[in-house]
Structure 1
Amino acid sequence: MVYLKKITYQYTKPDGTVQQQSREAYDRGNGAVILLYNIASRTVILTRQFRIPTYINGNESGMLIEACAGLLDQDSPQDCIRRETEEETGYQIKEAKKYLKRICLQARLPKFYISLSRSIRTI
């Protein structure tokens, strides 16, 4: 479920003054992201995805180049990343190494990486 959350908080500026601020953020739930890395060619595999906000703001194709990612839904981060990797790239991965738990977004977004040592689609 996606919902808009409004938060009001006290922010202390570098000069020590305190200011009340309000912000809105959409909460879409937690997700996971993976960076697919080919050791032999020293390259990464990225996906090309259509994103409506970029289209609305002048990107004629609406396409962005991104790391493979998805929402958890009811899956574990590992299951999510396996599902999204196959869906978005065609690669089937068996295991990925987790290297960071959170980023500076509202959602939890575990990050994984896998080293690709061959050019076949099953890893």
Structure 2
Amino acid sequence: MKTTLIKNLVGLFMLALAFTSCGKDDDSNGPQSKSKKVKYEITGNYTGQFMVVYIQANGSNETVTVSQLPWSAEITVSSFPSSAGFGVNAVTNKPGIAGQTAKSTIYVDGVAVQTGTQQTAGTDGYIFTMPTLPYVVK
């Protein structure tokens, strides 16, 4: 369990690093000055706890414990391209009930741009991991 959590957190960090690494700038369309709102969301009826790691507007990671669904966090990005993404793992000793579900989504300016598959708690009441959702905001 702990190994899976660590692997997912390392994977999310590496994903953030890849999206924010230096690359060739393309100024052919001129600078974009409009900011964009990115919303991370988990919906469903799962009553267990999740640990959520998401990328903030400055590129750093924020870690929160989620005890109730629906949950969301919103950031505003103003430089492009910008990375967005989040990963979700179960908190040990805080299961839900077998058969409960949860699904994660990323929205940009109110439009769903990345949606994970719905996950269902097993007989032990856990949804151990949900798909990590990466996205590049342009």
Superposition TM-score tier, normalisation by shorter sequence = under 0.3
TM-score (norm 2): 0.25
TM-score (norm 1): 0.27
Q: Highest CA radius of gyration, 1 or 2?
A: 1
